[in-house]
Amino acid sequence: MSELKTWPLLGEEVLLNSKVFDVMSRRCLSPKDGKEKKFMAIKAPEWANTLALTPKKEVILVRQFRYGSREFSLELPGGAVDKGQSPEEAAKRELTEETGFVGQNFRHLCSLRPNPALFDNFIHTYVAEGAVKSGQTHFDENEALEDILVPVADLPKLILEGKIDHALMVAAISLFLVKEGLTK
């Protein structure tokens, strides 16, 4: 049996409050030495994305400029879960807003922690089949995206060549390929 113990939270303070996350200073009690220790954490909303398949078994990806890396990124469509919304509702909304596609038969693929050393949230990935273009996109104020249709069989190559290098996307796509038996 493990002797590891949790670190009780003694208190926390918001150091930065922003539109997309809060930076927290957390005081915890070390079970090892009984002393108070300080840690940084990022309090963020849940995120949701969709691995949407067209009737031709193409995956809908979005290409967008990312401000942190200062590069373009190839990703699954997705974003933050709004208050009062389920992750599945957010995944459906984000798919339509970012690509103009609507999917059918949504099913939960996985819920992963983006980085539990810092973040307190989950990213939820859904698979949707039969996705068809239904209308216009509705980008957020600071979004500009293009959708790219990729055959499912090309996903491993895009990952191995580093064309899809967003770790959360690589994890979700890899889980999809394994669960669907599409790996060699």
Q: In order of start, what are the domains of the chain with their CATH numbers?
A: 9-43 (no CATH), 47-179 (3.90.79.10)
Could you tell me the strand order of the sheet in which 58-66 lies? 71-75, 58-66, 145-151
pLDDT at 132: 97
Q: What is the DSSP letter of 77?
A: S
Q: What is the pTM of this model?
A: 0.93
CA distance 21 to 174: 27
CB under 8 Å to 20, separation ≥6 — which residues?
Answer: 44, 45, 80
CA angle 152, 144, 140 (to 5 degrees): 105
pLDDT score of 77: 97
Q: What is residue 136's predicted lDDT score, i.e. its pLDDT?
A: 86
Q: Is 114 exposed, middle or buried (0-12, 13-18, 19+ CB in 10 A)?
A: middle
SS3 assignment, position 173: helix
Question: What are the φ/ψ torsions at residue 72 (nearest 5 degrees)?
Answer: -80, 150
Q: Is the pLDDT of residue 164 over 90?
A: yes
What pLDDT digit, counting tens, does each position of 88-125 carry? 999 999 999 999 999 999 999 999 999 999 999 999 99
With tokens 């389920």, the residue in question is: 86
Decide if pLDDT at 16 tops 90: yes
| Residue 137: per-residue pLDDT | 86
Give tens-digit pLDDT for 24-79. 999 999 999 999 999 999 999 999 999 999 999 999 999 999 999 999 999 999 99
**Which pLDDT score is estimated for 184?**
66
